Amino acid sequence: MKFAVLMLAAFAGAAVAVQSKVNGGLGKKVGLIEGSFISFLIGTLVLFFLMIFFGKGNIFAMTEVPKWQLIGGILGALYVFITIFSVNQIGVASTLMAVVLGQVLLGAVIDHFGLFGGGDYPITMKKTAAILLLIFSLYLFHR
């Protein structure tokens, strides 16, 4: 099961590479903010119809969640905006290498301290070495 989940996550990563290039081209033609808006609008429409036809949850329960759990859309918009900008400056691969580094670094901190209600997954020497290798990889990759 873990292997299947890892492969699914790898597929999501591949989709992000395509999304970054597509959004970068869109942003170049229509503008950074406008490209981000169009990307989110289309994504929102797709999710709306998926929710209508396949959703099993209760969207109205969002009034009961802690307010900080509602910032995901803001963070997603920030991510899309920054990647649209970055892809046109340094390319898809360098952008995504930096994105992965940021995700792994903060993800390790979140896991280590159990932030945002998460589990406790301590930062080990192996994880520290992997993070240092990512930093070195970004240096080599974008050099």
Work out how many domains the chain is built from and give that number.
Answer: 2
Side-chain-side CA neighbours of residue 126 (13 Å): 2
What is the distance between the alpha carbons of residues 115 and 17, in angstroms, rounded to a whole number? 28
Query: At which of 51, 69, 90 does a domain end?
Result: 90
Q: Do 101 and 75 share a structural domain?
A: no
Tokens 């520290």: give the residue: 128
Tokens 């759990």: give the residue: 69
Q: Do 102 and 65 share a structural domain?
A: no
Query: At which of 55, 75, 90 does a domain end?
Result: 90
Domain interval for residue 64: 1-90
Q: Do 110 and 47 share a structural domain?
A: no
Q: Do 71 and 108 share a structural domain?
A: no
pLDDT confidence of 1, banded at 50, 70, 90? confident
User: Quick check: 119 pLDDT over 90?
Assistant: no
Q: Do 60 and 22 share a structural domain?
A: yes
User: Quick check: 143 pLDDT over 90?
Assistant: no
pTM listed for this prediction: 0.84
